[in-house]
Structure 1
Amino acid sequence: MGSLLLLGCGLVALLIPTQAVVDINVATANDIHSNLNRTASPCTNFWNFACGGFSSASEYVDNFEWVEDKLPNAMVEFMESNVGEHDTLAPRLIGQMRLYYKACTEDTRTLHGDPRPEELVNHWTLHPKKFLVDGLNGVFIDERVDVAANDSMRWVIQIKMPDPAARYSDLRVLQLMRLYEEVWYTRGVFELVEKMHQLQDKYRAENPFVYTWSYGELRQQIPIPHSFFTELLGGSYTQKFDRLTFEVSDVEYLRECFRFLRDFASEPKDTYIRARHYVLVEESEPRERSKKSCIHHMRAYLPLGWNYIYDRFIYQNRAKDTRQLEEILFNLKATFGKYLDANRLQLTSNQLAYVRAKLEGIQIIIGNLPEEEAPEFYNNHYGSANFTRTNFLANLLEALALRTRLQKAGLLEGNSRVDLRHYYVNDNVRKARTSPFYENERNTITVPMEFLQWPLFDHRQHVIFQYSLVGAVLGHEMSHAFEQEGILFDAAGNESPVGLEIRESAAFRDALKCAEEQPFVSLKERLADLNGLQLAYDSFFGLAHDSRKFEYRPYAFERQFTAPQLFHLSYAQFFCGSLPPVIAHDRDDERVNVSVGNLRQFAYDFNCETSHSTNCEMWRPREEANSNRNVHP
C-alpha cells in the first residue's frame, strides 16, 4: 500500500461507517485540541505547541498514568468477584492470584517505619546467604539468565559487575545504617560498600569483552565459591553443572571482587546483604497500598498470572486489535522494504538479504503470554509459591523467590534449550512495562494489553490516529532491529558478522554521526525515534508525499488541521505530560522536537521556513530518489 489516503486533486477522508466511529474520532480530535498551547509556534517548539495545555486539561501526569489509572478497574472487579471461582481450566492459578490480592489490599502492615519486621528477621535467620535465590541481585555481581549471543535458543547464565543504578540501593543501605545505629550500624559495611564502588569505577568499561566459559572454566578463572552456584541453582554439585554455559564480562573486576570478599569479615558482609534485601523488599512493596496499586504491583511481580486473567476474563477486543496491529506492522514492513529497494546505505546483495530476512521475520505479540494454551501449564505455573490471604510481606518474599526460580527453570534440564511454547518475559522489574518493546533475540515486538486503550489506541479510531501514534510506536520498536546494536542480530536472534559489516560500513557510520550531532541520552533510542516517525509517516502518506502539492479536504471529525498536521499532532501527544527525569531516553519534548525536525516534510506540513541543514535519515530514500515516485495508490 503506497498510501493510506486517496490522493488526487485533494485528499478525501475515508468513510466513517458508524456513529460509534464518529464519536471516538471526535473525542480524539477534541482531546488533541484541549492539549494545545496556541501561544507557541509549531515551527520552533512543536512539543510545546502540541502539549503545552496538557497539564491544565488533564488530571494525570501523562498519558501512561491515564491508561494505567483506567486499567485496574476491571481487574479489581474481577478479584473481588466470584467469577472463575469454580473454573475448570486454571482454578489454582486464579486462587493464588486472589490470595495475593487479598493480602495486599487487606493486610494493613507495611514495611515503612519498621526496620526489622518479623518476617524478614525469620527469613534471614533461615537463609542468611542465599540472597540470589531470594531475588536479590546486583549486590556484588549482576547475574541473570539469558540466551547465548550465538544461539538464541540456548539458555546461558550471564555474570557481570552490578549496574550503576544499584548504587541507589546502596545509598539507602547507608542511610539505614545511620538511622538505626544501635541495631544496624557496622563500620565494616561502609568499608565494604566503598570498596565495591571503587572496584566498579576502576574496571567499568563501555563495551567489556565477553567470555564464554563452561562451569569448570569459570571456576578456574574467577574464585567464585562453589556454594554460590549450589545455592543459586539448588542441590549439590553434580555433572549437570558442566552442561551450563556462562557468558562473563568485567572479568578483572570479578576476580578482584571475589578475592577481596574471600578475605573480608563475614559479619559486615552478612549485615550488608540483609540490609540490601530489606531495601529490595522496601522498593518492591507498593508505596501506598490501594486496590489499584496492588493490581499494578501484581502486573510486575506475577506477570503470567496477571496477563492470563486479563486476557481470558477482561480483554474484549483481542481479535480486532490483533488484526489492526498486524495490518499496521505489515504496512510498516512494506514501506521499509521500499527503503531497501532504494538501498541508501549501498549494501551488498548479501547484506540486503540479511536485512530483508530480519525484516520479514519480525513478529508482533499482543500481551505477555506464551504460546502454550494447555490449562495445566497455567494452573501449575505458580505451584511452588505458598501465598496466604493474611500476610502480604510473606507473600512478597514468596513472589521474589518465585520469580528467581522461574527464571532458572530448565537451566539444568537436557541441553538448556529455550522452550518457545512456555517463553514469556519475566524480568526483574518493579514496574511493569506499559509501552511496546522489542526483543532482538526473539525478533519480536510485544504490545502489552494495557497499552491498547484510548487515548493511545482504540480499534474504532480512524487510521490517521492509529498510524500517527501506534504506527510510530511500532515503527520505533521495529527500528530497534536496525540501529547500531540491533543490526548485529540476524533474523534468528543471533549475533552475525554480516550485521557487524553493515554497522562498520561508511554509509552506516555517517548516519550515526548525523544523529549524534545533537545531544542525546541513548543513541539507539535517538535512531529509533527518528526512523520510527519517518517510517510511520511514509507508510501513511506514501514515500513521495509533498503537502505543498495538495489541497486537503477536512475530515468529518476535524476541520481545522489538515491531514499531515493532524498526523504530527497525534504523534506528539503520545509524549504529552510533565517532563520525566531523563533515564533511558531523551526528555519527551526533545524526542518530539528532534524527530519532527528531522522529518523533511514537517516544515512543508506546517508552512515553516525551511533551512538547508541536513535531515538525519538512515534507511529512508533520499528526497531526490522519491521525486520520481508515483504517490497514487
Structure 2
Amino acid sequence: MGSLLLLCSCLLASLHFIEAEVDINFTTANQIRKNLNRTTSPCSNFWNFACGGFGNASEYVDNFEWVEDQFASAMVELFESHLGENDTQAPRLIGQMRSYYKACTEDMRTMNATHAPEEVTEWSTDPVNFIQHVFCRIVFDERSGVANNDSMHQVIQLQMPDPSTRYSSLRVLQLLQLNTSLRNHNVVKLVRKLQQLRDRYREENPVVYTWTYSELRQQIPNVPWWHLCNQFLAGQNTSKECDHLSFEVSDRDYIRESSQFFHDFEDYNAKHLYLRLHLYVLLEESQPRERNPKTCIHHMRAFLPLGVNYMYDRFVYQNREKDTFQLMEILANVKATFGKYLEANRLQLTTQQLAYVRAKLEGMQLKVGNLPEEKSPEFYDTHYESANFTTSNFYGNLIQALALRARLQHAGLPNPGSRLDLQRYYVNDNVRKARTSPFYENERNTITVPMEFLQWPLFDHRQHSVFQQSLLGAVLAHEMNHAFEQEGILFDAAGNESPVGLQIRESPAFRDAIRCAERKPYVSLKERLADLNGLQLAYDSFFGLDHDSRKFEYRPYAFEAEFSAPQLFHLSYAQFFCGSLPPVIAHDRDDERVNVSVGNLRQFAYDFKCEESHLPPCEMWRPNVHP
C-alpha cells in the first residue's frame, strides 16, 4: 500500500510538473499572439506584424520596462519589510542600502539652480573639488580602465567627453537663460568654446597615447595634475606614487587646446558659476525624474549596483541555479555551432588566424548577475564603508554615491603595478541608467547577463527551448558576435589588442562582409553586424546547419496550434524588441534591427512564404553552402 501511495504521489508530482511546463508555454505563446498586428504582412514589415499590437496588449512601454518593474516591485517589498535587518553576514551593507532607500523615498526636497541644497554649495566651493570636477568632467573625461595591451594592468584613461554630454552643456545654457540672476555672458562663451573644440577635434577612432605621469605633465602642461593625482590615489599621493601611474590619452590635441583655453580664461567667477551649474545638471540628471519607491530602486541599481544585486541575489532571486544551468547550455550550443562555422572557414583564415578565433571562442565566459566571484561576507560588508549615507538627506547621499563610485573605480591604482583583481571585479561604470540587457566585455572576454533580465516574458527556465533559443539564444549570440565584429576581433582571448585580429579585419573576405552590412544605413556598424550574425547563429543552433524549411514540415507545438516551429522562432525573436520605439542610442531603431536581421536570414523567406530578395544575404561567418 505504501508503495502504491508513493507511486501515486510521484505521478501527481510529475503531472504537476508537466502542467507547469504547459502553462508557461501557453502563456508565452498567448502573449506572442496578443502582440501581433495581423493587418500587416510579415513579409513587408515583420517587426510591425510581430509587435504592432504590443501597445494594446501591455501596460508597459516595452519588455525592458516590464521586467524592470517586476524587479523593482520585488526590491521595494524587500526594503519595506524587516527581512535582513538582523543579518549577520553583511549588516553594514544592508544598513547603508536601507538608509539610501529611505532618504530617496522620504526626503522630498527639490533643487533649483539659484538655491541649490547646502550640500551642493559646500561641495562646489571646495577648491579641491573645483579642480577635480572642472578637469575630470568639464574639460575632459577621466576613468579607470585597463591597458590596450594588458587587460590586467589598470590605467587612467583620459579622453574627450562623450557626445551625450552635449545635452548637459545645453542645459547649462538653458538655466542661464531662464534665471536672470545667473546670466553671465562669459559662461556662455566658455560653454560654446569648449563645444566648438569638441566638434573640431572629434574622431571616430582617435590615436591613443600611453604616457607616464612625467610624460603627461610635459605633453599637457596646463592641468593641475598634482591635485588630480591626489584624487586618483585617494589622498595617498607622493611624487613617487604618482610616477607609477600609467595614462592612456585619446584626443590629445583637443585636451591640450581645451586645457590651455580653460587655464587662460581669466574670469574666475564665470568658471566657478559654470562648475556650480554643471554640478547642478549632473545631480539633476542623476536623480530619479519623479521620486517614488520603484524609481528609487532603479536609481540605486545604477549608482549602487553591487549592493542592490547582492540583496536581490540573497533575498529575492529563487532560480539562480536553474537559470545558470539553462544559460550555460544555450551558450554551449551557440558556441558549438560557431565552431562548425569555423570548420567551414568562409573567411579563408590562415591556420594562425583560425587558432586565434577558436581560442577566443573557447575561452569566452558567461556571468549570471553583475556580482564578483568574491563570496566572503567581509568583502560585501566593508565595500561601501567609506560612504556615510543617512536616512534623511537624499542629495547628500547622491553626492556621496558619485564620489564613492569614483573611489571604487580608482581603488586599485595605489598598488604598485595597478593590477586588476578579477576576483573582486564587477561592472561599476559611469551610467545613470542600469543595464538590463546582457552585455559583452572585450577586455574580459565575458558575457554578463543581469539578473533583472532573467524574468518572464524575456526568459523562464521552464519555457520550451524554442522560446529560450530564439530570444535569449539570439541575445547571447548577438553578444558573442561582438567578439568577432570589426572592433571586437582586435582583442584576443585574454582581452588584449592583437596584430592577428587586425590581419583578420583587413582581410578581403572580412571587408566584403562589412561592405555588405553597410548596404543599408546604420547607426552603429558593430551593432548591425552583431544583429545579423547573432540571429543567423541562433537559428542554425536551434534547427541545425543542414535543415531546409522548404523540404521539412515543421509541425506546430502542442501549446501553439497556428504557427509552425520556424515561424514561432522568428516571432519569439522579434518580440524581444516589442514596444514603443525609443530614441536611438548607439543602435538602429528596433523595427530596423528586426527587419534588417530577418531580411538577411534566407530561411525567413521560406518560413513565411515570402518572395525571396534578389540581393544575397549578408553573412560573415556562416558557411557559404545553404539550401
TM interval, short-chain normalised: over 0.9
Give the structure 1 partner of residue 502 of structure 2: 500
Q: Per-residue deviation at 1:554?
A: 2.3
Deviations 1:21-47 (A, max 9, x none): 100000000000001011111111100
Give the structure 2 partner of residue 589 of structure 1: 591
> Identical aligned pairs, as a percentage?
70
Moved over 6 A (4+): none
Give the structure 2 partner of residue 345 of structure 1: 347
- Within a 5 Å distance, the mapping from 1:494-573 to structure 2 comes to 494-573=496-575
Q: In the alignment, is the contact (CA less than 8 A) between 1:157 and 1:245 conserved in 2?
A: yes
Larger CA deviation: 448-457 vs 157-166:
157-166
| d(CA) in 2 for partners of 1:131, 1:450 | 37
Q: Per-residue deviation at 1:529?
A: 0.2
Larger CA deviation: 470-479 vs 255-264:
255-264
SS of equivalent to 2:550: helix
SS of equivalent to 1:387: coil
Gaps of 5+ in 1: 1-14, 628-633
| d(CA) in 1 for partners of 2:422, 2:39 | 53
SS of equivalent to 2:423: coil
* Count of paired positions: 609
Gaps of 5+ in 2: 1-14
Select the residue among 363, 367, 370 that pairs with 1:368.
Answer: 370
| d(CA) in 2 for partners of 1:479, 1:529 | 8
Deviations 1:233-260 (A, max 9, x none): 3334330111111011111111111211
Select the residue among 208, 221, 225 that pairs with 2:219.
Answer: 221
Give the structure 1 partner of residue 104 of structure 2: 104
Deviations 1:558-616 (A, max 9, x none): 01000000000000001011111112100000000000000010000011111331100
| d(CA) in 1 for partners of 2:341, 2:16 | 32
Give the structure 1 partner of residue 453 of structure 2: 451
Give the structure 1 partner of residue 121 of structure 2: 121
Q: Per-residue deviation at 1:545?
A: 1.4
Give the structure 2 partner of residue 630 of structure 1: none
SS of equivalent to 1:255: helix
> Which amino acid is 2:206 matched to?
P
Give the structure 2 partner of residue 331 of structure 1: 333
| d(CA) in 1 for partners of 2:131, 2:473 | 40
Q: In the alignment, is the contact (CA less than 8 A) between 2:92 and 2:382 conserved in 1?
A: yes
> Which amino acid is 2:338 matched to?
F
Q: In the alignment, is the contact (CA less than 8 A) between 1:199 and 1:257 conserved in 2?
A: yes
Select the residue among 401, 406, 409 that pairs with 1:407.
Answer: 409
Residues 101 and 178 (structure 1 numbering): CA distance in 2 closer, same or farther, change over 3 Å?
same
SS of equivalent to 2:313: helix
Give the structure 1 partner of residue 6 of structure 2: none
Give the structure 2 partner of residue 473 of structure 1: 475
| d(CA) in 1 for partners of 2:114, 2:23 | 52
| d(CA) in 1 for partners of 2:166, 2:391 | 34
Give the structure 2 partner of residue 305 of structure 1: 307
| d(CA) in 1 for partners of 2:113, 2:70 | 31
| d(CA) in 1 for partners of 2:358, 2:470 | 24
| d(CA) in 1 for partners of 2:424, 2:134 | 21
- Within a 5 Å distance, the mapping from 1:100-499 to structure 2 comes to 100-111=100-111, 115-125=115-125, 127-130=126-129, 137-182=136-181, 184-223=182-221, 224-225=223-224, 226-235=226-235, 236-265=237-266, 266-499=268-501
| d(CA) in 2 for partners of 1:38, 1:544 | 32
Q: Per-residue deviation at 1:114?
A: 6.4
Q: In the alignment, is the contact (CA less than 8 A) between 2:554 and 2:566 conserved in 1?
A: no
- Within a 5 Å distance, the mapping from 1:17-32 to structure 2 comes to 18-32=18-32
Using CA pairs under 8 Å that are at least 6 residues apart, name the structure with larger relative contact order, 1 or 2. 1
Normalising by structure 1, report the TM-score.
0.94
Q: In the alignment, is the contact (CA less than 8 A) between 1:128 and 1:270 conserved in 2?
A: no
SS of equivalent to 1:389: coil
Deviations 1:444-498 (A, max 9, x none): 0000000000000000000000000000000000000000000000000000000
Q: In the alignment, is the contact (CA less than 8 A) between 1:132 and 1:232 conserved in 2?
A: no
> Which amino acid is 1:150 matched to?
N
Give the structure 2 partner of residue 44 of structure 1: 44
| d(CA) in 1 for partners of 2:612, 2:51 | 23
Q: Per-residue deviation at 1:131?
A: 5.0
| d(CA) in 2 for partners of 1:260, 1:579 | 41
Residues 136 and 404 (structure 1 numbering): CA distance in 2 closer, same or farther, change over 3 Å?
farther
Residues 136 and 608 (structure 1 numbering): CA distance in 2 closer, same or farther, change over 3 Å?
farther
Normalising by structure 2, report the TM-score.
0.95
Residues 277 and 504 (structure 1 numbering): CA distance in 2 closer, same or farther, change over 3 Å?
same
> Which amino acid is 2:143 matched to?
R
> Which amino acid is 2:158 matched to?
I
Q: Per-residue deviation at 1:185?
A: 2.3
Q: Per-residue deviation at 1:553?
A: 2.5
SS of equivalent to 2:422: coil
Q: Per-residue deviation at 1:167?
A: 1.1
Deviations 1:413-449 (A, max 9, x none): 1210000111000011111000000000000000000
Give the structure 2 partner of residue 11 of structure 1: none
| d(CA) in 1 for partners of 2:552, 2:160 | 57
> Which amino acid is 2:602 matched to?
R
Q: Per-residue deviation at 1:192?
A: 0.8
| d(CA) in 1 for partners of 2:281, 2:396 | 15
SS of equivalent to 2:396: helix
SS of equivalent to 2:415: coil
Larger CA deviation: 239-248 vs 603-612:
603-612
